[in-house]
Amino acid sequence: MEPSIRALRFLALVSVDRPHILPEFLEELNSLEFRKTGNIMPAYHRAIKRNVQEQKRQKTLLEASTICMNSK
């Protein structure tokens, strides 16, 4: 499926306005679900959700490593 003009414009907007979610958004645009439906908003929302989960995971890892370093 060729990318739609709307999807390309939205991708450009995300890359400028929210570059921190760009990797997740690109993965969502490459997903089978997006390819089937072509609906960009659910892909965008999934990318945001994945980004938030990844940030929480990174924060937890940082806190755990800080605790380990402080306990030595």
Domain spans in the chain, listed from the N-terminal domain onward: 5-71
Predicted pLDDT at 7: 78
Q: Residue 61 corresponds to which amino acid? A: L
Secondary structure letter of residue 30 according to DSSP: T
Q: What is the pLDDT of residue 29?
A: 86
8 Å CB contact between 34 and 40: yes
| Cβ contacts of 65 within 8 Å, gap of 6 or more | none
**Model confidence, pTM:** 0.73
User: What tens-digit pLDDT sequence spans the chain (72 residues)?
Assistant: 566 787 788 888 888 999 999 999 989 888 888 888 888 899 899 999 999 999 999 999 999 998 888 876
The full 3-state SS of 16-28, as one line of letters, equals HHCHHHHHHHHHH
CB 14 within 8 A of CB 44: yes
